[in-house]
Amino acid sequence: MKVIQPRPFTFREGSRAVLLLHGFTGHSADVRMLGRYLQKKGYTSHGPIYHGHGLSPEELIESSPDLWWKDVLEAYHYLQYLGYHEIAVAGLSIGGALGLRLAHLEDVKAIIPMCTPMFFDNKTQLTAGFKVFATEYKQLEQKDEKTIKNEVGHLIEKSYDIFQQVGKFITNTSEEIHKIDIPSFVVQAHDDHIINPESATYIYENIGSDNKDIKWYEDAGHAITLGKKRDQLHIDIYEFLESLDWVD
């Protein structure tokens, strides 16, 4: 059975733009509902898909954070090409780390890291998450249980390099955030079992901006943009964006 692949999105509405970045093993659906909400509130949003994501687990482990960074940079430049001069960035998980790097290196209006790792102390959780993703993907391909077990086991063995690269990217990003001095809204779920939630405290305390806030969400998991607290998250992000000094 052929799995239908997700697509990037661009929801145009108004002169203010927000770049929305998904997480590891995820794709544009991670942030699509947030994009639609912001569109209704008068904001343009663009959600790219990184190399290897939205595809098979075999293709995912052949990609790298360097390629994902190029995808994010291209997405940022795409919004500029469309005529948007002020661009805020919101990113989930590794998307938050990619967004923080963008905020360090480019002229970004504001940054919203959501459940974003700053310590590479979660390889076990990442591996478990990747195993779930790989298993579910192969179930969608309607493969039998024995085949799935064998193929997923092989994938886990081959995933070492990409996790090492992810770890290096996270560490490098964490060492740069003190250079970021734009408005920042740090989002963290209390029941996040994928990353160390103290990453949020680290970002809030070390980011170089004086204009910063942090919010912890009770009864929310790592994929906070898809969970039961997403409606409140949408409102909070909108209110943060509205507090910025936009040049409309």
Please tell me which residue in 28, 51, 174, 192 is annotated as part of the active site: 192
Q: Is residue 248 part of a domain?
A: no
**Domain annotation covers residue 23:** yes
Q: What is the CATH number of the domain that holds 150?
A: 3.40.50.1820
Catalytic residue flag (residue 222)? yes
Question: What's the domain range around 115?
Answer: 9-242
Low-confidence ranges of the chain (pLDDT < 50): none
How far is Cα 171 from Cα 157, in angstroms, rounded to an integer?
23
Tokens at 198, concatenated: 């103290």
Question: Measured between alpha carbons, how far is 62 from 53 in angstroms, rounded to an integer?
Answer: 10
| 247 domain-assigned | no
Residue 2: exposure state from Cβ atoms within 10 A (0-12, 13-18, ≥19): exposed
Say how many Å lie between the first and final Cα of the chain, rounded: 48
The DSSP symbol for 112 reads E
Q: What is the pLDDT of residue 124?
A: 74
As for how many domains the chain has, the answer is: 1
In a domain, 40, yes or no: yes
51 carries an active-site annotation: no
With a CB cutoff of 8 Å and minimum separation 6, the contacts of 217 are 187, 188, 189, 190, 224, 229, 232, 233
3-state secondary structure of 185: strand
- 192 flagged as catalytic: yes
Q: Give domain status of residue 16, yes or no.
A: yes
**pLDDT tens digits for range 86-132:** 999 999 999 999 999 999 999 999 999 999 999 977 667 777 788 88
Q: What is the pLDDT of residue 30?
A: 96
Choosing from 45, 93, 159, 184, which is the catalytic residue?
A: 93
* Per annotation, catalytic residue among 22, 46, 53, 222: 222
